[in-house]
Structure 1
Amino acid sequence: MSASDKAKNKLQQLQGKMRAATGGAIGDPDMAARGRGDQRIAHLKDAGEKVKDAFRSRRRPRRY
């Protein structure tokens, strides 16, 4: 996984946490739900990158 993709995913997770907390604090359930959704999307992106990385090592030819 590239460092920039990982950073973007972590930033999106942080933004989701902030949005969910803000929505909970001001009593806006729609904003809180959008924040939780942002967190889940970032988590799924991160998991997808990890799966790609797991298979990437198998595609490289062996050097003898």
Structure 2
Amino acid sequence: MRITINNSCIGAGQCALTAPGVFTQDDDGYSELLPGREDGAGDPLVREAARACPVQAITVTDD
């Protein structure tokens, strides 16, 4: 699995609330992946976090 966050992120924080083991927010409030979690770390909520994003800034693809 590969997770990308594009620059349309508005900092709503839904990803960090849905999958806190994979996503966090930077000092400006924008979404980012936790170090070492770029592949989702097997978290079953990663796809739900992508769907929860109000601006669809998160893309999840299978490798």
TM-score of the superposition, structure 2-length normalised?
0.29
> Which structure shows the higher strand fraction?
2
TM-score of the superposition, structure 1-length normalised?
0.28
